[in-house]
Amino acid sequence: MLQNMRSAAKYIWIFIFIAFVGGFLLAETSGLLGRAPVTTSTVVATVNGEDIPYMVWANTSAALAQQQEQQIGRGLTLDERAEVDQRAFDQLVNDVLLRQEYEKRGIRVTDQEVIETAQFAPPPQFRENPEFQTDGQFDLAKYRRFLASPAVRQQGILAQLEQYYRTEIPKEKLFTQVAADAYVSDARLWQMYQDRNDSVAVSFISWVPSDVDEFAKQVTDAEIQQYYAAHANEFDRPGRAVLSLVSIPRTPTASDSADALKRAQELRDEIAKGAKFDDVARRASDDTLSGALGGDLGSGGKGRFVKEFEDAAYRLSPGQLSAPVRTPFGWHIIKVDSRKGDTLSLRHILVKIRQSDSTAVKTDRRADELARLAGGALEPAKFDSAAKQMGLLVTQIEVAEGQPARYLNRTAPSVSAWAFGGVHPGESSDLFDNDDMYYLARLDSLQQGGIQPLDAVKNDVRDRVATRKSLDAKMDAAKQAAVAAAASSLEEAAKATGRSVQKAPMFSRVGFVMGMGQLNEAVGASFTLPVGAVSAPVRTNDAIFVIRVDQKVAADRAKFE
């Protein structure tokens, strides 16, 4: 156990450092947040005095976006593009941080190191390529013959490999040094283990602020301002948007389902006549993720898939092909590679049920009409008028900044990124679409992220001040109960105050405790008291507790070792 913990801990610190600095710089210094006009001379981040120009970031983001579009076979949604922008930023910041750390530590890469590493440590994509395998295992001799071939140099592959190793070798050297520097003492590891494995059971009486509404009437504006000034950071919140949406579903007909079934049966027949399942899956499966792996869904037990799929899979013998199986995702051809008990290793080919051309034309015409009536409109009334004219249901949703929009129990791509992308309340989006529907959104209201102004959180502040007042008023009763419990019993003290004794079964320092909470003063006090002892009143942010420790079990040092 100790060795496992040390192995996991020693690589943590540099990654935490890089991630923290990257996120901080994006939030605090980037011109991309709309705080300053963006030009070709804009600096999106400054990392220890080294600037990252806007054009470098933009080109990196464009390259990553193009790569992702090629992988998924379609254009990116606004949400996906925002993620790519963030990934490009993080990558550039990390590159600068790493390069600066290499210089600080004197880490260099020689030509000889590149040559030797290339001979013995190929990149992962080469190891996994069937062209360099023999009987399913990587064949180093095949890989070396490939490196020695004239085509590798002529096609620029050697130059790409050199760049790869000049990037990866210094990382490996740095991580080796960091592993030596970031030593975690046995005492600290033991403490971490105790936090998760020491356990205690307690009984307690609690006083909760159930009368906050009454105390809220007593809170003055001066008290509200004083609390807000001292706790402003507690009101740092993500932006929130309220949107109205309408949609036109791409609903397939019964005929469309029959066409998809026919296609699935044709693929099954092709495999039954000798085609490799893997090849057909890569070429024809609508599940592009598993399709790229030859339809491989991995190995696991029951509960991984929807019922229709799972029932059909467990009826198959290894090597057997299923008939087409209908699920909410479409038609599937399933093949079980192996089975051990309830653990299946299997593959599938998915044929989605899509609208036929004739059905799609009708849907597209309605979508075009919606776009004509309200797409990109600046006047809020145009959205409502279009919905009424076309008989569309208006649904209002709330979206948090950085989170995808959820609409009709599914993700609505691009809506969230559009809402927080600089539009104003009342504006309507252009027409969005996915496999299931066309949809159009209107921004009804927008609350910017960050530390909220007092006016926006005044009621919340009032409740917090009222909670404090309520607990202040209950403290004397809690003190009297603690004295009485120490003199008699917790049960007698509870009875005298008209309260009940609650019990919390065994919990750790980091676990959640029903009725008490998590990682607070009450949980901490439970571990400082001896068995049978009763605490003085313990106050948290939202309750007061008098606690008695009923049982303690210490972490097992032998298991830790």
Residue 245, H or E segment: strand 240-249
Q: Cα–Cα distance between 488 and 323 in angstroms, integer? A: 73
224, 456 Cβ separation under 8 angstroms: no
CB environment 13-41: b (16+ within 10 A), e (fewer): ebeeebeebbeebbeebbbbeeeeeeeee
What distance in Å separates the CA atoms of residue 478 and residue 472, rounded to the nearest whole number?
10
Look up residue 234 and give its DSSP letter: G
Q: How far apart (Å, rounded) are the C-alpha atoms in residues 273 and 191?
A: 63
- The tokens for 205 are 């009486």
Residue 446 neighbours by CB under 8 Å, 6+ apart: 239, 240, 241, 242, 419, 420, 424, 425
Domains of the chain, each with CATH number or no CATH: 2-105 (no CATH), 111-181 (no CATH), 196-226+455-560 (3.10.50), 239-251+357-448 (3.10.50), 254-351 (3.10.50.40)
- At 535-561, the pLDDT tens digits run 999 999 999 999 999 999 999 988 887
Contact indicator for 67, 73 with CB cutoff of 8 Å: no
Longest Cα–Cα distance in the chain: 92
Q: Are 51 and 43 in contact (CB under 8 A)?
A: yes
Q: Please give the structure tokens belonging to residue 542.
A: 């939202």
What distances in angstroms separate CA 119 from CA 126, 369, 551, one per listed residue? 12, 61, 61
537, 473 in Cβ contact below 8 A?
A: no
Q: Considering the entire predicted model, what is its pTM?
A: 0.61
Full pLDDT tens readout for the chain, 561 residues: 434 434 444 333 344 344 444 444 443 444 444 445 666 678 888 888 888 888 888 889 998 998 888 878 788 899 899 899 999 999 999 888 888 888 888 888 888 888 888 888 888 888 877 778 887 788 888 888 888 887 777 777 778 888 888 888 888 888 777 766 656 678 888 898 899 999 999 999 999 999 999 999 999 999 999 999 999 999 998 899 999 999 999 999 999 999 999 999 999 999 999 999 999 999 999 998 889 889 999 888 888 899 999 999 999 999 999 999 999 899 999 999 999 999 999 999 999 999 999 999 999 999 999 999 999 999 999 999 999 999 999 999 999 998 889 998 888 999 999 999 999 999 999 999 988 899 999 999 999 888 999 999 999 999 999 999 999 999 999 999 999 999 999 999 999 999 999 999 999 999 999 999 999 999 999 999 999 999 999 999 999 999 999 999 999 988 887
DSSP 5: H
Instruction: Calculate Rg over the CA atoms of the chain.
Output: 31
